[in-house]
Structures are given as C-alpha cells and as structure tokens.
C-alpha cells in the first residue's frame, strides 16, 4: 500500500475535525442538559419526544378546558341552589295558605311570591364571564324576560329567549362534556330544562304566578290541590339539576387528576429521552478532549520531522 506525503496530514485534519465536532456536541449537552439538540442526534428518540410533546400540549388544553368548566359549574350550582331555596319558600307559603288565614295574610303572601318570582328570573339570568348560563347556546342575551308589569306591580308572564342546545368542551381525547343546562326544554327528549321541562312537568315561573294569583283571590282550595302539586314538581326538577351538577363537578375533578398525572408521566418520559446524563457526558467530554490533545501532540511530533532526520 502506497502512502503519499499528503495522506497523513489529510487524515490528521479529518480526525481532528471529527474530534472537534464530538467535543462541541458533548460541551453543548453538558451546558444545556439536553442529549438531543438536532434530529440527527437520535432520529428515533426525537420522534418519540415530538409525539410526547404533542400529547403534553393536548393535555394542557384539556386542563384549561376543565378549569373553565369547573368555574361555570360552580357558578351554575350557586344559581340553582338559590332557586331551590326560593322554591322551598314558595312551597312553604303554599302549605301555610289554608282556610285559617285571613285575606290580608294571603295578600301578604302573594306580595312575597311576586318578589320571589322576580328574584327567580334574575337568578335564571345569571352570567359568568359575560355568558348567560341558562340560555343554551344563546349566551349573549338574557334567557328570560319578564312580561309587562301591571299597575298593581304584578308580572303575568315570563318568556324564554334561549334554546335547548348546549355548548360542549373536550376534557379528554374524544370526550366532550357540558356543564350548562337549558332554562327551558318543552320537548320530551334532550337535557331537562331548569325552569320549564316537559318531562318532569316543571314550569316554575308559571307556577309561581298561579300561586300568587290564587293567594290574591283567596282560592285556598286550588292552592292545595294544584299549586302545591306543581311546586313539588318544580322542586324535584331543581333538585335533579343540583344532583347532576354535583356529579359533573366530581367528574371534572377526576378528569383533572387523570390529566395532571398523565402530564407528569409524560414529563418524565421526555426527560428520559432527551435529557443528558451529566456525569456520563462529562466523562465522555473529558475523553474527547484528551483524544483531541493527544492527536494534536502526536501529529505535531510527526509533522515536525523530515526525511533528513532519518538519514542522519
């Protein structure tokens, strides 16, 4: 095998270049703590890291969705709970309004029911973050509107301006959830309405109006036979929504815990794939530096000698 005069210098330069690249890569790993800087460092590991990072990003979005839904669920719960208290008071008044009460006492009860009606409409128009909670997907306008107020201060109608559709958010892969309920659902399918619901027979505002009018009229017989029965349906419906809301909040807590646990696991997996073992990296860096110095020294020694040195 013939070795020309240029073979050794060319080989030395190539070896020094490779050692310099290795030193630079190990130095970067030691400084950043990252084993993978570029795809060519480890294509297979880089692919796994990218997939894990995408999953982590999705989990972060799920967590934000869950956090928002928990806020809405909490706001809805407080409004529904307040409606339940009003319904309890209306049922109590319907029970107290019997033949032993004077017309004046019944009129005082009627005035209170009228106030409870207006308060109930206000609660049914609860907003959170600028969105009305009980209007279905019509979140930009009040779901309920009071009818004209008569000269005696009575409200005889309440209209619903929303729909029975509900906005949903993704809380896990292929898992959608809504925490809102429509204020009214006159169909026998779909989510039960909070105020008006055809399935349960609830029509809270109208039943309050009926109770108030019968109190003014002193019609205790209708109050006993009709209004008490109707208010019991309203109470059952409101309690149903309270229970459903509680179950949804529990589900959100579970989903949040699962997403957090998975997110923590992914961080560990990414670290295992991408992070450098500092101790091992420093050892390899020291080896590369020593090899580089040795190559320089041996190369300098050989290149400094000429043919005449061997002919003396």
The per-residue pLDDT for range 215-268, each reduced to its tens digit, is 999 999 999 999 999 999 999 999 999 999 999 999 999 999 999 999 888 888
Cα maximum dimension of the chain: 139
The per-residue pLDDT for range 143-198, each reduced to its tens digit, is 999 988 787 778 889 999 999 999 999 999 999 999 999 999 999 898 999 999 99
Output the pTM of the full model: 0.76
State yes or no: pLDDT of 311 exceeds 70.
no
Instruction: Give the DSSP letter of residue 34.
Output: B
The per-residue pLDDT for range 122-143, each reduced to its tens digit, is 999 999 999 999 999 999 999 9
How confident is the model at residue 46, as a pLDDT? 74
Q: Beta partners for 128?
A: 131
State yes or no: pLDDT of 1 exceeds 90.
no
Cβ pair 90, 208 in contact under 8 A: yes
Instruction: Give the DSSP letter of residue 242.
Output: H
State yes or no: pLDDT of 300 exceeds 70.
no
State yes or no: pLDDT of 288 exceeds 80.
no
Domains in the chain, please, with CATH? 52-267 (1.20.1330.10)
Grade residue 64 by pLDDT with cuts at 50, 70 and 90.
Answer: very high
Poorest-pLDDT segment among 21-25, 41-45, 159-163: 21-25
Task: For 79-110, give the DSSP string.
Answer: HHHHHHHHHHHHHHHHHH-STTS-HHHHHHHH
d(CA 10, CA 65): 61
Grade residue 12 by pLDDT with cuts at 50, 70 and 90.
Answer: low
């Amino acid at each position: 095998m013939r070795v020309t005069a240029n073979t050794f210098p060319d080989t030395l330069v190539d070896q020094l270049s490779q050692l310099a690249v290795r030193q630079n890569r190990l130095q970067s790993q030691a400084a950043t703590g990252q084993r993978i800087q570029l795809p060519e460092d480890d294509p297979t590991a880089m692919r796994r890291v990218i997939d894990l990072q995408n999953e982590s990003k999705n989990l972060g979005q799920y967590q934000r969705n869950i956090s928002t839904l928990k806020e809405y669920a909490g706001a809805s719960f407080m409004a529904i709970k307040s409606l339940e208290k009003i319904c309890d008071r209306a049922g109590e008044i319907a029970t107290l309004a019997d033949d032993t009460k004077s017309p004046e006492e019944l009129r005082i009860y009627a005035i209170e029911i009228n106030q409870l009606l207006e308060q109930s409409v206000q609660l049914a128009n609860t907003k959170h973050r600028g969105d009305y909670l009980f209007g279905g997907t019509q979140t930009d306008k009040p779901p309920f509107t009071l009818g004209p107020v008569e000269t005696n201060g009575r409200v005889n109608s309440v209209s619903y301006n929303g729909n029975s559709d509900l906005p949903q958010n993704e809380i896990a892969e292929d898992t959608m959830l809504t925490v809102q309920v429509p204020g009214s659902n006159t169909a026998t399918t779909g989510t039960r309405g909070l105020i008006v619901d055809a399935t349960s027979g609830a029509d809270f505002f109208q039943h309050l109006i009926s109770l108030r009018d019968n109190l003014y009229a002193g019609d205790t017989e209708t109050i006993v036979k009709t209004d008490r029965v109707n208010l019991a349906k309203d109470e059952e419906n409101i309690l149903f929504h309270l229970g459903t809301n509680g179950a949804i909040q529990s589900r959100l807590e579970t989903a949040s815990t699962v997403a957090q646990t998975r997110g923590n696991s992914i961080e560990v997996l990414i670290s295992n794939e991408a992070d450098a073992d500092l101790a091992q990296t420093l050892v390899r860096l020291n080896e590369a530096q020593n090899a580089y110095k040795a190559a320089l020294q041996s190369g300098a020694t050989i290149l400094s000698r000429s043919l005449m040195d061997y002919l003396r």
